[in-house]
Structure 1
C-alpha cells in the first residue's frame, strides 16, 4: 500500500515540475516571441547548452569545486556548532550567558560579512569558507541544543546511577539522543550553505558555480547561464534529499524518536 502511494506521489511531483517548465517557457517566450532577448533564458536554450557544458568537463569541474567548499564548510560548522549547541543545551548558566550574543550574531546576514572577509582573509577560498561556515553554524548549534534539552532525563539518571563516566554518558546517552536533531540541523545548514554559496563564489575565485554564473553572464552566453542555474537547483535538491534520507534513517533506528 505504501509503495502504491509513493508512485502516484512521484507522478504528481513530475506533473508539477512539467507545469512549472511550461509556465517558465511561456513567461519568457510569449511576450517577445521565440526570437526575443528574454527567450534566450527559455528551458529549451538551457537544455541545448547543458550537453556542451558537460562534454568539455567545464561544468563538472566547477560543480566539484562548489561541492568541496560546501563539504569543508559543513565540516567546520559541525566542529564548532555541535559542541556549542551541546553546551547551550547542557548548561543553563552557559545558555543564559551567551545566548543573547549568539542570537545577535545569528541574525546578521552572512553576506554582510563579505567585505570584511575579503579585507581580512583576502580573495579566494578562505573568505568563502568563512562565510559558509558562519552561515551553517547557527542551525547546527540550535538543533543540537534542542536535542540535548529533549533527551529523556530517565536515560541520564540511569547512566548516572550505573556510575557511567562522562565519556560513556556522552557516547551511549547524549550522542544517540541528539543524532536525529543534529541531522535536522545538517539539512537546514545545507540549504543555507547552498544559498550563500553562489554569491560567496563571486569573491574573486576562479572556480565554482557562482563563478560560472558570472562567467556566462560576461560571455553573454545566456543559455549557459540558465543551464548553470538549473544545475544549481538540481544539485541543491539532491543534497536536500540525501540529508532528509539520512534524517529518516537515523530517526527510524532503535532509541530514536
Structure 2
C-alpha cells in the first residue's frame, strides 16, 4: 500500500506573520516616540509651566489648526513646490559637476594628492558663509540660492564617487587590461557601473545637506519658498503658521530621505539578484 501524500504547505498568512509582527512593533515604537515628542511639546508650551503668552502661539493645537488652514488654502503647496524645484535643479547641477570630478580625482592618484587638501578645506566651509559673496556676484533672486545649494551638494557626491573608484575590485581592472580594453572602455564598462551604489549614497547625503541649507538660502530676497514663508510668518507675527511650516519642512525632508533610502535598498537588492 502506498503512503498517502502529506500536505506540508504552510498557510500564506503564517509565512508572513513574523514580518507583519516586526512591522507592527516598529510602527508602534515609532508612534510612541511621536506621541512622547508631542506631549513634551505641549508641556513646554503649556501655560501651567510658563506665563509667556507668546509660547501659546507655538502650542500643538494652534499649530495643527494653522497647518489645516494652510493645506485648505493651498498656499503651503505653492511654497513647497518652489523649494522642491530649487532642490532638484541644484542636485542636477551638483551631479553634473560632482560625478565627473569624482571620477577624475579617483582615477589619478597624483591629482588626488594634489587636490585633496584644497577640497577638504573648501568642503569644511559652511555653505551659508558664501551668502554675501553669492549676493555680490549673482545679485538678489534665485541665482544665489542655486549657487549655495549646489556648492553644498557637490562635495558628498564627489567624495563618494571618488571612494567608489578606489573600491573597484582590482581583478576587474586586471581583466580589462588583459583584454586590451581602452581607458574609455574600462571607465564606462567597469568603473561607472561599479560606483553607482556609492554615487547613490552621495546623492542621499547631498539631499540631506541641501534641505538643511535650503531654508536660510531662501532668505536672500526671493518671493516664494519655505524659507521665505518662514520669514513672512515671522514678520506677520503668525507664530502658529511659522510652527506649521517648520513641521512641513521636517516632514518633506524625512520623505525625501526615506525615498532615497528605499531606492538605494531596491537598487542593491536588484543588483544582488542579477549577480546571483
Pairwise same-fold verdict (TM > 0.5): yes
1:80 paired residue number:
97
- SS where residue 196 of structure 1 aligns? helix
Alpha-carbon distance between aligned partners in 2 of 1:139 and 1:218, rounded to the nearest angstrom: 35
Segments of 5+ residues of structure 1 without an aligned counterpart are: none
1:96 paired residue number:
113
Segments of 5+ residues of structure 2 without an aligned counterpart are: 1-17
- SS where residue 37 of structure 1 aligns? helix
Deviation of residue 81 (structure 1)? 0.9
1:246 paired residue number:
263
Normalising by structure 2, what TM-score?
0.88
Alpha-carbon distance between aligned partners in 2 of 1:249 and 1:137, rounded to the nearest angstrom: 24
- SS where residue 134 of structure 2 aligns? helix
Deviation of residue 155 (structure 1)? 1.4
Cα offsets for 1:224-254 (capped at 9, x unmatched):
1000000000000000001111111222213
Q: 1:230 aligns with which of 226, 243, 247?
A: 247
Alpha-carbon distance between aligned partners in 2 of 1:167 and 1:90, rounded to the nearest angstrom: 12
Change in Cα spacing, 1:174 to 1:2, as seen in structure 2 (3 Å) is farther
- SS where residue 123 of structure 1 aligns? coil
1:170 paired residue number:
187
1:106 paired residue number:
123
Q: Does the 8 Å contact 1:179/1:250 carry over to 2?
A: no
Cα offsets for 1:91-115 (capped at 9, x unmatched):
1011011111111110111001001
Of structures 1 and 2, the larger Rg is shown by 2
Number of residue pairs matched?
Answer: 255
- 1:42-191 equivalent positions in 2, closer than 5 A: 42-191=59-208
Q: 1:32 aligns with which of 50, 67, 74?
A: 50
Q: Does the 8 Å contact 1:140/1:186 carry over to 2?
A: yes
Normalising by structure 1, what TM-score?
0.95
| Structure 1 outlier segments of 4+, above 6 Å | none
